[in-house]
Structures are given as C-alpha cells and as structure tokens.
Structure 1
C-alpha cells in the first residue's frame, strides 16, 4: 500500500483575492529576481502559495514571468481542496499546474521527484496567523527552496494599491534570513507613505510602535515626504523620488534607485526594520 498522504501544513485562510491585486509584487519579482530566474538551469519553478478562492493570481503570475523566462513553470498551491479543484480546469502542465498543500510546498509529480521551487510567493497568508508562527513558516518554506531561491512573503490591500513584502533567503547557517523589506504605494492621492503600516507583513505589523525600528523608519519616511511637498506641483512621482533620495541621504539603507521609486516602490535592508 502507498504511504498515507501527509496532512498539509497550515490552516485555510479567508481566500479573498481580486484580478491584478498582486501586480506590484509580480512586477518586483520580474525585476529583483529576474536574474535568478534567467540563470536557472532548466525550467525554473515558481509557486503561488495560498492563492485563495480564485486561481487568477496564479495565471497572472505565469503570464508576467514569461516575459522574464519563457519556460517558467508556475504552480498554485492551496490548502483548501475545493480551491485546488477550481484551478485544475485552467491548468496547462507543466507550465501552469495546481497542487494541494501548505508550507511544505508540494509540487506536482510531473515536475519530477527532485524538483524544488526557485521562488515562492506567499501573499496575504501569514497575515491571518500569529506573529510567533511567522519564522517557523518562513523556515519550512525556505527549506524547500532550490539553491539561491527566494521566499517573497507579504501583504496588500484588496485592490493592490498598498503592499509590503519581505525577501527571505536561506542563510549560510541554513536558517531563514530576511534580506529586504519593500513597500509599494499607489502614489495618486497619497497623503502619507506610512499608510502602508496597515499592510506590513505579519513579522512587522505589530511592531509599528515607539521603540521599534519599523516605526522609526516610517516616521522618517513621512518626514521626508513632507519636506518634498514643494515638488507636489510636478507630480506625486517626482515627490516620491525626492522622498526616497532624502531618506537615503539621511543614512537609511535604501537598496534600490529612481527607476523603482517612480513606481512608488522602495526597498530597505532588513536590518533597518528588524524587530528589536
């Protein structure tokens, strides 16, 4: 007899999703992890972990990443069997497929017994867990990654206008090691950049209090935004570019540049926001 199937690791989340909700993080994956995908030997595997009630974000991710690597293979992984079955009619294996599972990140048998994901995107999943569960979940996913792979874990609002995510890798000691925090904002109508606080990843959202680094960073970001107010007449993009440049000049470890800032996106070294 075959061994009994392992129970997926995790719990069923609300599953709310919308078309284009994850466009900001998809765009960042193509930019920041594009080199990783292009240099992969063989067809790289990318997982949309916990994609929710609709498989639309799986299909959108596959479509966007084909512009980076034509032979990318995208797998939607969901713990809810009904959601997996909802996606199967849209599968196109091995290029797009679906599997039932959780943080153990199973892959379809057709990809081979030794297949490992190079990138795992987990959005709006850990938000519904307790903070103490974040690092063990990160570790479990990172243990499944291909060498050099990345876990992109974060949260966004219902329409994808506010988002924040962490790039987590495997450290030399084998432990899950966050590298950067990225925030991404819809600049039109933006009052203060710190509005993203309500969409911080679970590892940080409860840390936005005095004495914590992320709270200090968001305060510095708002002050830089206020100083750049005279540029508002030239448009929100110019104002945000000036804001990000000012933040860097103030000594904060901003790791990207104007091309990303114009999109309302800013990445910081994790050390600047790590919980105390």
Structure 2
C-alpha cells in the first residue's frame, strides 16, 4: 500500500511557514555583503563589512568570550544534566524525588529575569561574606571562593548558563533513558559486568544522540542568552549579545549582519556535522544488531 501524498494546501502552508521563518535570515545574510552602510538599500556586492568586523577588537573579544562560555557551559551542562537525568529515570522511589525533579527543571520554566536576579543576589552575598582581601592572610577555601566569586565575570556567567542549560539536558536524557530497553543493562550485569562499565559501554552509546542534541542546544542557548548575562556580567566581561544589543540602539549596521552570518555558518556546521556523525553511528549499530541476530539464527 503506497503512502498517501500530502495535499497541495498542506504543502503550501508548509512552504509559507518555512518562508516566514527563514526569509529574514536569508535577507540578513544577503545584506551582510552590501556595499552601502544602509542595511535596507542595496549598494552592490562587497566584503568590506567582514573586514571591518575582523578589525573590531572589542567585538572580537566579546565574540571570543561568548564562544568560550558557550563551550564550557554546554560541556558542564551535559555532565551534570546526564547525572540528573539518569537519577530521575532510574531512581524513582527515593524520598524527595518530586522535589529533586522540580528543582532540576525549574530553570527551564522559570522566567530568566527571576533566575538572573536570584543568582545576582546570591553572588553579591557571597562576595560580601567572603571578605576578600590580602591573599596571604586568607585560607585556601577563602582564596578559592574569592577567585570564583570575588567579582562578577566569566565564571559567574558560566555558572548561570550551566544552571539554565542543565535542565534541558536532564529532560532529554531522562526521556531517552525511559525509551531504552533496560533488559540490555540487566543482561550485562547478570553476566558479571560492573554497573559503571555497563553505563559507559551500553547506556552511554545508546543515549549518545540525546547527549549530542543536549550539547548543541545548550551551546546555542548560552551563545544567545542576554538576560542572565546582563545580571551576572561585570566590567570587562561583555558578551556578544550584549555588544549587539548596545550597538542596535545606535542603529543597525551591516557589520552586525556580517557577524550574524558568521555565527549562522558556525552553528549550522556544528548541526550538520553532528547529524552526519549520529546517523553514521546509528547505521553502524543497526548493522551490528542485524549481524548479531543473523548469527543467532544460524546457531539455532
């Protein structure tokens, strides 16, 4: 029985939806090559705004800081989110499970203004309580605390972004673990495999797609975040969204279009490469399962 073809009206709605979503992005990319300084008037093809962008030290520093924070936040969020998602999916009967689940997912559903304000008050209280001064007169823990929270900057932004992104990773990992056939883990442990080895050899490869998706989502959320960053940043820690927001107040320039085009290319490359790797890994696992099944049938 052949599959039903999509009605023409549904195709039209689908393409209108794609046009609504991607036409502004396409126009932004096109006008990044505009000769004119006016972003709405085409003055000819030119790469001068990319040259201006590469010579803007302030913007390059902000972009570098944003990418560093995004990479670190996504990596730490995957680690912590995987642990939280594993606990939520595998250990469902301990006391306080509902509270733990609510605390884990709270940053995802709570307004960022509230999260940012609460974390700002926390860091201000830590800075006051640590009473940072001469390092020679402070203990090891106090020096460590002053290094982490002595002033707002990259580390406080990193902590805030990790808190936000960890919730998304935990939900992805939890849902993937619930769909997983737990008999694979049980069979491995029945054969004498240590639980840690079961996790790294069996569970981790199965949930690898959720981990990659969580890392990419966390990287994008961190790179794009403005509200949390505005609360947690300090002098000398201006990120790319903050620079763009302050620049737009003076008027949109093709330099911002060029920056956005570069970010689009980088993020799209990450998504395409990760998707290709995940499809290749999935195909390899499917072939291994088919080969194992065929060998079992021959033995029978």
**Is the shorter-chain TM-score for this pair beyond 0.5, marking a shared fold?**
no
Q: Which has the higher contact order (CA 8 A, sep 6+)?
A: 2
Q: Which structure features the higher share of strand residues?
A: 1
TM bin (shorter chain): under 0.3
Q: In terms of Rg, which structure is larger?
A: 2
Structure with the larger helix share: 2
TM-score, with length taken from structure 1: 0.24
